[in-house]
Structure 1
Amino acid sequence: MPLDHRRLRGPEESRPPALWAAAGEVPEERDGAGAPRDPCALRPLFVRAGLLSQAEGSAYVELGGGTKVLCAAWGPREAADPGAGGGRLLCEFRRAPFAGSGARARPGSAAEREAEREAALALREALEPAVRLGRYPRARLAVSALLLQDGGSALAAAISASAVALADAGVEMYDVAVGCALCRAPGPAGPWLLQPAEAEERRAAARLTVALLPALNQVSAVLGDGEGGSPDTWAQAVRLGLDGCHRIYPLLRQSLLRAARRRDATTAAATAAVPEPR
């Protein structure tokens, strides 16, 4: 894959601006070492669909704590291979050079490309069961997710944003895929936490991302790694993640409804502005 020269190549080493702030103005570091939080609590979520005019469908998702993901969707378009039988879903996941606050891989390096490739494969695995690819023979659909800021639960936010972008583009889907991330706190009896922050993910003994089609009650993807304990512990984490997906689902639907109303209002205003022929 050629190097993307349009990317902003930031400095190799960066430091947070709080280091240069006055002593009394330095904010407390959000490392999760303070008071224990409710493991079942969801972080505040903001979703907006139809944000980009250059794409056929788009969505922006922001989680409380700093995670920001912008997704765009295109298609259906004619596939490059005319012999392709069914529709294809192409997924891309990119990470902005300034997305993380800590150490990062060199932009365009092999480590960063491999991480983005794995995230794109996970994104495609979670979205394919939700899209009716059989309705688009010999066509391709494309989804591009850009991680603007990594505050934890980035892949889950990208799954939800990509599904909303596809629905905003008018792609026929069985349901909107909802992503929810979890992590297990270190220790022999560490609890599973819903929508962990970046510091919690960094210290976690195990991580899990669940994708669900709530209307069908069908799991589209389960992605996890680490040492989560016994199988019953993992089953408990999956149930907790599914409950989180059901609670996020109404927010995604409301964002699509608001986008449809804005589009209808814009169309009506444009129609009213056109003078009637005499």
Structure 2
Amino acid sequence: MPLDHRRLCGPEESQPPEVWAGAGGFPAEEEESEEASGPRDPCALRPLFVRAGLLSQAEGSAYVELSGGTKVLCAAWGPREAAEPAAGAGQLLCQFRRAPFAGRGARGRPGSAAEREAEREAAAALREALEPAVRLARYPRARLAVSALLLQDGGSALAAALSAAGLALADAGVEMYDLPVGCGLCRGPGPAAPWVLQPGEPEEREASARLTVALLPALNQVSAVLGGGQGGSPDAWAQALSLGLDGCHRLYPVLRQSLLRAARRRHAAAAAAGTGAGTAGAGTA
């Protein structure tokens, strides 16, 4: 039988990786499991890394990474002429995708109906949270597009994607009322379980209620509240909402500083390019 040289032939016999786990394997996963099992302050925010303006192929972009493994990359384009313009205002198109390697363990087949439905729901949630922040009336007969790619799901993925999408739109120069900020919460099983800010993937897996809050901090206006589950009494939900709003206010300066750094980098690059062009022109003359 002829060999297929386009494939990498594996060994005839193989063993599952769990066999080697007891011999000191998977140190990173063991450390993460120990951190997840340790006590955590419910009101504490996870360390955050944000950078805007890192994709040259898009008009605006942003990357958000949360401690624990959540990584989201967003790109924004527009305004561009809409094929079917709406009357009086522009259109905001949102897309949310999960990378095939985004989640740990067993997951659904990539491209399955369940995964496509989850991505559509996340895209609709992004649009619902971003539309109040964008001045769509300034872009009649035009469309704006935002695409969010979840590279790794370590918990609070929708909130991270929301913050990254708003930052990408602002980096693209889109007129906005304010920079939207997203913050996720969850509540574990049990009547005395507290609400936890920016939960990790293990906490979300065991949660009995989830909540994602989107806020325009400068206007102090809530653009979206998305959640569900059995979170207890209405007072408990009100407490969770207050905790989420406080988390958004604390995240806002980090996102704003990232946007300012991206603007300074762009200005410095433009100035350097102008200086180089002027020097070349003087040399030619």
TM-score by length of 1: 0.91
1:169–1:18 CA distance, 2 compared to 1 (3 A): farther
Give the corresponding residue for 1:9: none
The whole-number CA distance in structure 2 between the counterparts of 1:86 and 1:117 is 23
The whole-number CA distance in structure 2 between the counterparts of 1:91 and 1:19 is 43
Which of 274, 278, 281 is the equivalent residue of 1:276? 281
- Given the alignment of the two structures, is residue 166 of structure 1 paired with residue 169 of structure 2, yes or no? yes
**Which one has the bigger helix percentage?**
2
1:31–1:121 CA distance, 2 compared to 1 (3 A): farther
Shift in Å, 1:23 = 2.0
Unaligned runs of 5+ residues in structure 1 are 1-14
Which of 181, 201, 204 is the equivalent residue of 1:201? 204
- Given the alignment of the two structures, is residue 23 of structure 1 paired with residue 28 of structure 2, yes or no? no
1:18–1:160 CA distance, 2 compared to 1 (3 A): farther
Are the equivalent residues in 1 in contact too, given 2:86–2:140 (CA < 8 A)?
Answer: no
Give the corresponding residue for 1:237: 240
Write out per-residue CA displacement over residues 4-25 of structure 1, whole angstroms, 9 at most, x where no aligned residue: xxxxxxxxxxx99676456234
Query: Which residues in structure 2 correspond to 1:147-186 (within 5 Å)?
Result: 147-186=150-189
The whole-number CA distance in structure 1 between the counterparts of 2:207 and 2:170 is 33
The whole-number CA distance in structure 1 between the counterparts of 2:50 and 2:238 is 29
Q: Which has the larger radius of gyration?
A: 2
Query: Which residues in structure 2 correspond to 1:1-278 (within 5 Å)?
Result: 20-21=20-21, 23-27=23-27, 28=30, 29-30=32-33, 34-82=37-85, 84-274=87-277, 275-277=280-282, 278=285
Unaligned runs of 5+ residues in structure 2 are 1-14
Are the equivalent residues in 2 in contact too, given 1:65–1:151 (CA < 8 A)?
Answer: yes
1:82–1:127 CA distance, 2 compared to 1 (3 A): closer
Structural RMSD (CA) = 1.8
Aligned residue for 2:215, secondary structure, equals strand
1:86–1:224 CA distance, 2 compared to 1 (3 A): same
Shift in Å, 1:104 = 1.3
Write out per-residue CA displacement over residues 137-189 of structure 1, whole angstroms, 9 at most, x where no aligned residue: 01000000000000000000000000000000000000000000000011111
What's the % identity of the aligned pairs? 80
The whole-number CA distance in structure 2 between the counterparts of 1:155 and 1:64 is 15
AA partner of residue 140 (structure 2): P
